[in-house]
Homo-oligomer: A and B are copies of this chain.
């Protein structure tokens, strides 16, 4: 899913500036499965405007830099639905944490232990975040996505809790 399509999707929910889109990426209900930087959002918005999929009105503000508010056009809505109707690219999960855990026996036990504890803390933080955004989420889609995130993170958390002892520091482990 490229940044273009994601911007289009966000704009179906209401007008926004590039800056606001970025904030949705890092703070919203999307943050656990989407990400993008200014360096990709601004050029995407410019191209989308050239192609007539979004329109742009400039708002001159006092005491604040000018802002460009983008709206999706009818053509944009059509292009968006088309993009969602085509074949879905596969989900991608890249996990440096799991990669490191694969080599747990080659690492100092206290390092492995720290890795797991850190991961537990991050997962708990993620669950709290999902609760926060879940409280104000509107449509059924958003509720579904947040629920899906909660289900996976809860599964992961339970597993981490249940298996951390395995790698506890200096656990002399009965046999090899």
Contacts and interface: CB of A to CB of B under 8 A. Distances in A.
B158 A140 contact: no
Interface string A146-170: 0111011111101110010011000
A98 B156 contact: no
A105 B32 CA distance: 21
Contact of A105 (B1, B103, B139): B139
A60 interface: no
Interface in A105-145: 105-107, 111, 115, 139-142, 144-145
Contact of A97 (B88, B95, B99): B88
A69 interface: no
A79 interface: no
A75 interface: no
Contact of A144 (B90, B101, B147): B101
A101 B141 contact: yes
A172 to B, nearest CB: 14
Contact of A96 (B1, B12, B98): B1
A92 B35 contact: yes
A88 B98 contact: no
Contacts of A141: 101-105
Given A34-B99, A93-B94, A152-B152, 6 more contacts: A33-B95, A34-B95, A101-B141, A102-B139, A151-B159, A152-B159
Interface of A: 1, 6, 9, 12, 30, 32-35, 80-81, 84-85, 88-107, 111, 115, 139-142, 144-145, 147-149, 151-156, 158-160, 163, 166-167
